Amino acid sequence: MTTTTHTTQATDAVISLDPSTELMVDELGQLQDQAAALKLQIDSLKDTIKMQGAGRYLGSRWQSLVSPVAESKRVNWEAVAMHMQPSHQLITAHTSTVAATSKITTTLQKGKA
């Protein structure tokens, strides 16, 4: 059985992967690349359709509805809170714990383009 090693940063543990896991990692990376390319294409098409103005646009199978969205304001509550210089006790009283989970980041290996 062939194994490969994988690490994402110098501080990460090196994990030996069996061949099926290696294939899944490569497939995930390829799909993420495709998704990123598709997102760019989708965003470009959306922008072009939006430039036509508000209305319903019909294709042979699909339709797009362009609706105006009024200007809105968002408050940066974190900045407001820091400006008010809250005490450590106040911050602690309004801090909640989020359960531990896993995160995956897939990147192209250097020299493997």
pTM of full prediction above 0.85: no
The range of the structural domain enclosing residue 45 comes to 1-67
pLDDT at 4: 47
Mean confidence (pLDDT) of the chain: 87
Total domains, the chain: 1
SS (H, E, C) 27-74: HHHHHHHHHHHHHHHHHHHHHHHHCCCCEEEECCCCEEEECCCCCCCC
Q: Are 41 and 56 in contact (CB under 8 A)?
A: no
Of the segments 16-20, 86-90, 108-112, which one has the largest average pLDDT value?
A: 86-90
| Residue 89, in any domain of the structure | no
| Residue 102, in any domain of the structure | no
Reduce the DSSP state of residue 17 to 3 states and report it.
Answer: strand
| Residue 26, in any domain of the structure | yes
| Residue 88, in any domain of the structure | no
| Residue 7, in any domain of the structure | yes
